[in-house]
Amino acid sequence: MRLSPLMAVFALWTLSVAAGTPPRAVTPAMAATAQQLMQHARSANTGYAIVESLTTEVGPRLAGTAAEGRARQWAVARLKDLGFHNVRVEPFEVPLWLRGIERAEIISPFPQPLTITALGGSASTGADGVEGEVVSFESLAALEAAPEGSLQGKIVFVDEVMTRSRDGSGYAVAVAKRRKTAFTAQSFGASAALIRSVGTSSHRFAHTGQMRRIDYKGQPGVPMAALTAPDADQLRRALSHGNPVVVKLVITPQLLPPSESGNVIAEIPGTAAPDEIVLVGAHLDSWDLGTGAIDDGAGVGIVIGAAKLLLDVLPHAPRRTIRIVLFGSEEVGLVGAQAYAEQHAGELHNHVIATESDFGAGDIWRFDTGVADSKVALAEAIGELLLPLGIEPGTNTASGGPDMKYLREAGVPVVGLKQNGWDYFDLHHTPDDTLDKIALDALHQNIAAYAVFLYLAAEIEADFR
């Protein structure tokens, strides 16, 4: 016999009561409220309106730029309008890196332009650019195994292909290529580096992303750019003729003094336990090439949409405080996440549970937890209520999302509402990350799931530590 979610909750609740466990877990009344939230999510307009407004009225909003500042102003105004409390900006500083000219071409034997984009944090070639013979490697590992001195004055090309997957597991491998190539190439004496774009698209979009967090002191690495997949194919074909291939690369990004960024915070204050915090995040900054619709305008829309649903549907606020954190400067190395953890170090023990929406606009297919072993059953009781949304139970190894890193390391329990990322890396970090790529149905499913989770996590008495 398979228990229905409501029956399971009731069984768990009965069990808790029978065992005399003091903190109240999920009750049948809460389960009924969760069902109400799911029903209302289908007609909730706030989530889409938020991502439409952010991507239209602000557009691209790179960490540390004036555009990111406008995004914070936009967020404060919208969150106040929507009826949230304690809306505020918590500022911090971030390294400022700005894209310049971006141009590449095959000089010989087959002269033609190549489509590229500089990787975040890359050094500049100077306006005159760098010209050199291309040496190709099938993987980062192959580059790392190159003979000493074999790359003097060469342009390194790491042609590693990212694997497409639902859970985005191919990205971690691809990110290693983006993090390390410029520095490894520099240690071998190369003059510049090209990588096949991280990402899974076969369209002619170059994929940007941070090499590693800028510290203003370390080796900058060689200037490095990503080729689109069709251009990487083209360079591979040109090399297959067996003759030397000479490429010219001109990228002129600038590294400027640290600039102001900030996290934007808004709350639904808890009624019975206002000091206990259920944190839900998304990030406000985006890469500069697109308008940051799926990364992470969608997340911003989902978490604000879900919290607004609670304001609209619940007769009164939950017991605990629900805190929305729109992180700044996520893309350039989780700078906002670290600032939050530092600025709130004194109250992290009151962070009951936390999560983030930062994996696009696909539907959620799995509910992972990252809680104390003794609290897995409790978290699973919440997960059971997500089954009608097509969300299956996961494992207790959730990361909670990129910006949850420092909270997780500080012992804050997390959950992961895992989205289908099959197509995510077709768009992510490219010029094609625009509003039209968001499907409304999936956005509504996300909003329903977050609303249910936030409500239950904030309403129960039990904790997850």
Residues that bind a second copy (CB under 8 A): 52, 55-60, 67, 106, 109-113, 115, 202-205, 229-230, 233-234, 237-238, 290-291, 430-432, 434-437
Name which of 296 and 426 has its Cβ closer to a second copy. 426
Q: Which residues neighbour 263 within 8 Å (Cβ) at sequence distance 6 or greater?
A: 89, 90, 92, 284, 325, 326, 327, 328, 336, 339, 340
Which CB sits closer to a second copy, 203 or 349? 203
Query: 160, 267, 330, 356: which one is catalytic?
Result: 330
State which residue, 202 or 395, has the beta carbon closest to a second copy: 202
Count the Cβ atoms, other than its own, within 10 Å of residue 460.
Answer: 22
291 CB-near residues (< 8 Å, 6+ apart) = 55, 56, 59, 60, 297, 433, 434, 435
The closest of 341, 344, 359 to 421, measured between CA atoms, is 359
Cis (ω within 30 of 0) for the bond into 28?
no
Whichever of 164 and 180 has its CB closer to a second copy, that residue is 164
Q: Which residue type, as a one-letter code, is found at position 222?
A: V
Minimum gap (Å) between residue 195 Cβ and a second copy: 18
Minimum distance between the CB of residue 73 and a second copy, rounded to whole angstroms?
Answer: 13
Min dist. Cβ of residue 435 to a second copy (A): 7
Q: How far is the CB of 437 from a second copy (least distance, A)?
A: 8
Distance of alpha carbon 462 from alpha carbon 14, whole angstroms: 15
The CB-of-186 to a second copy minimum distance in angstroms stands at 30
**Annotated catalytic, 330?**
yes
Compute the distance between CA of residue 136 and CA of residue 462 in angstroms, rounded to an integer: 56
Specify the residue, 55 or 446, whose C-beta has the smaller distance to a second copy: 55
Query: Would you please indicate which residues are annotated as catalytic (active-site) residues?
Result: 330
